Amino acid sequence: MSGVQTPSIDFDAFIFDLDGTLLDTADDLGGALNRVLADANVAPVAEHVYRPAASNGANALLEVGFGDKWPELEQLALRQQLLDYYAEDIAVHSKCFNGIEQLLIALEQNNIKWGIMTNKPGFLTEPLVQAIPSLRDAKAVVSGDTLAVSKPSPDPLLHTAEILDVDPSRCLYIGDAERDIQAAKAANMYSATALWGYIPSLDAALGWQADFNWQTPIDAFNHI
């Protein structure tokens, strides 16, 4: 698909990334990070520090927290510790971004299928989705370990389209990370950048050349 703002298109399915796109999970992820840091007698990090890393996985969060010390540490053990803490309190603060619930309702009302494709591992994805009532009606939920590969590989997106029984070229994938846009392009899907999410910067996000760059979920209503 092209990297320019495309005219209105009728889609058969919307597929969403999870963290930073459907859900604001940064405070629960940051809380788990700060528990790990406290155990290591390292000062906690503030929201504005951990939030940009929230879409990039446990290692990215730990690197933000430990800084220059991170390469020298027991990374696998610390990653597991963070995931364990996160699993304990996975949906304390997490909630849909403003406009997401209305968007999902509109998709249902217009008989447009929708699903979730995230790099988050299944043991975290499944309880998180179940904890958020608005997400329980997803017609497909594909996690980072559902297949042997994850984004930016197109395979998980193609698998999601197969579950939804929709041609990939009739799908739109929405995400807040460069790998999301790369995966969509490789899967021959249209792509939209969730600028409300955990993007590194506006300039960087626009440089990914998604088909659409949306300031809020309400921007998607033009394509329903």
| SS3 assignment for 53-73 | HCCCCHHHHHHHHHHHHHHHC
Among all chains, which residue has been given the structure tokens 């846009």?
181
Q: 117 has which bridge partners?
A: 142
For residue 212, report the phi and psi dihedrals to the nearest 5 degrees: -135, 145
* Annotation says 203 is catalytic: no
- Burial call 104-117: b when 16+ CB within 10 Å, e when fewer: beebeeeebbbbbb
The Cα–Cα gap between 160 and 163 comes to 5
C-alpha distances out from residue 57 to 51, 62, 121, 158, Å:
11, 9, 10, 22
Give the CA count within 13 Å in the CB-facing half-sphere of 45: 25
Residue 60 tokens read as 């990215």
Tokens standing for 208? 């990914």
Catalytic, out of 10, 12, 17, 24: 17
Contact 54, 198 (CB under 8 A): yes
Catalytically active residues are: 17
